[in-house]
Amino acid sequence: GENVEQHPSTLSVQEGDSAVIKCTYSDSASNYFPWYKQELGKRPQLIIDIRSNVGEKKDQRIAVTLNKTAKHFSLHITETQPEDSAVYFCAAASGDNQGGKLIFGQGTELSVKP
Amino acid sequence: ETGVTQSPTHLIKTRGQQVTLRCSSQSGHNTVSWYQQALGQGPQFIFQYYREEENGRGNFPPRFSGLQFPNYSSELNVNALELDDSALYLCASSLYGGPYNSPLHFGNGTRLTVT
């Protein structure tokens, strides 16, 4: 069935370093890949997304890359700051454009140490 | 522009009881999706509503049901509560056309505890 695998489950970096989180998806029809940041006790917040017609998207310190052939996509955070500490979820849109759902990965707990 | 609002924020129920959770969609959004997030897990799709009809469902039993009202707000009902139903229930609103056309924005969720 539809599945999204996310690695690593935990990631600890020093402030100022880069962080990379990787996801693979199983449904070759997936065409939309968002990333959500969830702080403890709060809602998932959309931080960046990419559609299948592009290979890379960047927004300030955050970038996402997509490899449709290999069915994997990655989140890159540069110059990490303590406020980047949170759980990050990747997701893939599965289903047609008329009612697709998001399939989420298991999450990566990012800890940025000052 | 008002975001997605959910009520109540927390709820404690006993096994076997029934519960109703409520969601008001973001202004201008006509589609509501519900997700269940167990502790330490990613959200799992329950179902989606558009024009007051369910138009997509995940792997959840029939005791999970929903409604959408003409103002696009929505309810999630769970009957015969089980301990495993304890989770954060998230509502997300969007425009019709799936996440590709309209990114999902989540509410703060309802934390349900079943004892």
Q: Model confidence at A86, in pLDDT bands (50, 70, 90)? A: very high
Region B70-99: mean pLDDT is 92
What per-residue confidence (pLDDT) applies to A103?
93
Q: Are the beta carbons of A96 and B104 separated by less than 8 Å?
A: no
Determine phi and psi for B85, rounding to 5 degrees.
Answer: -80, -10
Model confidence pLDDT, tens digit, residues B35-62: 999 999 999 999 999 888 998 899 999 9
d(CA A16, CA A13): 8
* Cβ count within 10 A of residue B21: 21
What per-residue confidence (pLDDT) applies to A59?
95
CB-neighbour burial class of residue A26 (10 A; exposed 0-12, middle 13-18, buried 19+): middle
Considering CB atoms only, which of A42, A89, A100 is closest to B100?
A: A100
What per-residue confidence (pLDDT) applies to A99?
61
Q: What percent of chain B has pLDDT over 90?
A: 74
Residues of B in contact with A100 (CB under 8 A): 56, 98-100
d(CA A4, CA B68): 29
List CB contacts of B109: < 8 A, sequence separation 6 or more: A43, B6, B9, B37, B88, B89, B90, B91
Q: Which of B30, B34, B50, B104 to mutate to test the interface with A (most CBs of A within 10 A)?
A: B104
